[in-house]
Amino acid sequence: MNQSFSTDDLSFLTENYKEITEKIAAAAVSSGRNPSDVRLMAVTKTVSPAHINHMISLGVGLIGENKVQELLGKLEFLTTEKTDIHIIGHLQSNKVRKIINTVSMIQSVDSISLIDEISRQAVNNNKTMDILLEVNIDSEDSKTGLPAESLIETAFRAADTKGIVLKGLMSIPPICEDEKTARMYFEKTRRLYEDMKSALGKRADISVLSMGMSSDFEAAILEGSNLVRVGSSLFGARRY
Ligand SMILES: *Cc1c(COP(=O)(O)O)cnc(C)c1O
């Protein structure tokens, strides 16, 4: 991994960070909330530790990685003492053990068997793990995520499982041509989030709605998102 970078790269990251945080703040205010009500996650897949560390030094308090292997490979080079790390990609049950003491939340929980394995590892390590359920908002598409129909049932199961702290919902809507369609998906997700919250009542402290990425985070915030996951608009286009 290339860890050296020029001064040009630094100012580029600084400018991106400034621009994104300003847009988040404006969208939050437009939706009747405070800028601090919306949390920014820097999505760091394919990004070098040097770039990630610079983004952290600018004030990003949360990073997200998709793959366990990639996260663990970078970890020793990261200055994450004051930074939360979340898993946001599809997680295989046999990898849970490897990250149970590294991440503070798993956002991409999409099956009962994964809930059970996170529970087992959390209990073994004497801790609890925050999770979000990932909902597949566009069931036509064959992407990951729970079907909306089984969301509430799975939420009850998660809320009643030892070692698991259910915090909310995450979704990745299909790529949309226009903002209107994107907002429709975000609105649908927010309704599911509210249904889940009221169904669970006091059984869980549902407070996180994770939706919105580089191309659509403002639309997501206008529809109620309080955690946006931004990669390429912060770090530049990914080079795989
Ligand atoms: C890559 C990724 C993002 C960020 O995507 P950008 O379009 O680069 O902002 C957000 N969420 C998930 C789950 C991702 O895999």
How far is ligand 1, taken at its centre, from the CA of residue 122, in Å? 26
- The neighbour count for residue 204, using CB atoms within 10 Å, is 20
Q: Which atom of ligand 1 is nearest to the CA of 213?
A: 9
What whole-number distance in Å separates Cα of residue 170 and Cα of residue 136? Answer: 9
In sequence order, the β-bridge partners of residue 86 are: 64, 105
pLDDT in tens, the chain (240 residues): 444 555 556 789 999 999 999 999 999 999 999 999 999 999 999 999 999 999 999 999 999 999 999 999 999 999 999 999 999 999 999 999 999 999 999 999 999 999 999 999 999 999 999 999 999 988 766 578 999 999 999 999 999 999 999 999 999 988 777 888 889 999 999 999 999 999 999 999 999 999 999 999 999 999 999 999 999 999 998 877
Q: Which atom of ligand 1 is nearest to the CA of 89?
A: 13
How far is ligand 1, taken at its centre, from the CA of residue 126, in Å? 31
Distances (CA, A) of 230 to 55, 93, 101, 119, 166: 12, 26, 24, 28, 23
How far is ligand 1, taken at its centre, from the CA of residue 230, in Å? 6
Q: Are 227 and 38 in contact (CB under 8 A)?
A: yes
Q: Which of 60, 63, 88 to mutate to test the pocket of ligand 1 (most atoms within 8 A of CB)?
A: 88
Q: What sections of 42-178 are H helices per DSSP?
A: 49-58, 68-75, 96-99, 112-124, 151-159
Q: Which atom of ligand 1 is nearest to the CA of 233?
A: 9
Helices first, then strands: H and E counts in the chain: 9, 9
Q: Is 87 helix (H, G, I), strand (E, B) or coil?
A: strand
Q: Which of 229, 230, 232, 235 to mutate to test the pocket of ligand 1 (most atoms within 8 A of CB)?
A: 229
How far is ligand 1, taken at its centre, from the CA of residue 108, in Å? 12
Angle at Cα 69 formed by Cα 65 and Cα 73, nearest 5°? 90
Residues with C-beta less than 6 Å from any ligand 1 atom: 43, 45, 66, 88-89, 172, 213-215, 229-233
Measured in whole angstroms, the distance separating CA 128 from the mean position of its chain's CA atoms is 18
pLDDT for the residue numbered 142: 58
pLDDT for the residue numbered 150: 95
Q: pTM for this one? A: 0.95
How far is ligand 1, taken at its centre, from the CA of residue 88, in Å? 8
Question: What is the crossing angle of helices 151-159 and 112-124, to 10°?
Answer: 10
What whole-number distance in Å separates Cα of residue 107 and Cα of residue 162? Answer: 18
**In what helix (H) or strand (E) does residue 81 lie, and over which residues does it extend?**
none
Q: Is 22 helix (H, G, I), strand (E, B) or coil?
A: helix
What whole-number distance in Å separates Cα of residue 202 and Cα of residue 70? Answer: 37
How far is ligand 1, taken at its centre, from the CA of residue 203, in Å? 30
